[in-house]
Amino acid sequence: MIEIRELTKRYGDVTAVDGLSFTAAAGRVTGLLGPGGVGKTTTLQVLLGLDAPSAGSAAIGGRTFGDRPPGPREVGSLLDTHAVYCPHVGNTARECLAGMARRHGIPRRRVDEVLELAGLAEAEQRRVGRFSLGMRQQLGIACALLGDPPVLVLDEPLNGLDEPRLAWAGDLFRRLAAEGRTVLLSGQLPAELAAMADELVVLARGEPAAAAHVAGTAGPGGGPRVSVRTPDVAVLTALLADEGAAVVLNPDKSLTVTGLSAQRIGDVAFLNVVPLHELTTERFTL
């Protein structure tokens, strides 16, 4: 389990993360969703012990890693596909993984297993310098899986993936979670991330705007339920949460909003230049 509690990170006068709290449970895929610059990568860096928090805590299995980043058997991580655990772009995918396995005392047979898991078995002898961004992502995921860790922390793992690779990634992450692992993914694309996540945490300006259960129903409290469709799911969710609404992301990528009228939702969207494709009051809950 991953627990983020009132996490704040400042760089001089700039606050990158401000009072963030959420939990990523074992056996589930949790998505950390938001546009660039809202603190997703900073949060993961603090979680992995690569940076120190200014306040609050970020723990994995009750442990913080401020003095020593976790090893690949503890946590599988992917933070930068352009430096994808391979010091030489002239190396092949197999050589990159074999070198990492040797450094961490991981059996060589595991290299074959993760090449297959990552869909790189047929490209294992290709040089990494010739990989597309999508293939680099696959190699990064293979590196994260090499130690067979119980926890995966992947920053923007869907960037550069085409439709077939997105389907492959979704199937892989769901299977890993079904094995009891904790899977935390960050991303900027609401539709793609929502399609494979059990729970979404939407960030705005480093703050948690909403924790939306993908398969959930409208939040507690009664009142009108408003169905909303927008191409800017993350932005509108953050704005509505700032207004005090409960926002739930549905499997069809629509939003169910309680706590605000359709008129107020429309006003918020208009004032912030967020396009709306649907705005319908459904019914009153009792």
Residue 140 and residue 84 in contact, taking contact as beta carbons nearer than 8 Å: yes
The CATH number of the structural domain formed by 215-285 is: 3.30.70
User: What pLDDT sits at residue 114?
Assistant: 95
Domain coordinates in residue numbering, the chain: 2-200, 215-285
What global pTM score does this model have?
0.76
Q: Using one digit for the tens of pLDDT, what is the confidence trace for 78-110?
A: 987 555 556 666 889 999 999 999 999 999 999
User: What pLDDT sits at residue 84?
Assistant: 56
CATH architecture observed for domain 2-200: 3-Layer(aba) Sandwich (3.40)
Helices 233-242, 262-271: inter-axial angle, 10-degree rounding: 120
User: What pLDDT sits at residue 86?
Assistant: 66
Helices 93-103, 109-117: inter-axial angle, 10-degree rounding: 130
Single-letter code of the amino acid located at 260: L
Q: Using one digit for the tens of pLDDT, what is the confidence trace for 20-73?
A: 888 999 999 999 988 788 889 999 999 999 999 999 999 999 989 876 788 999
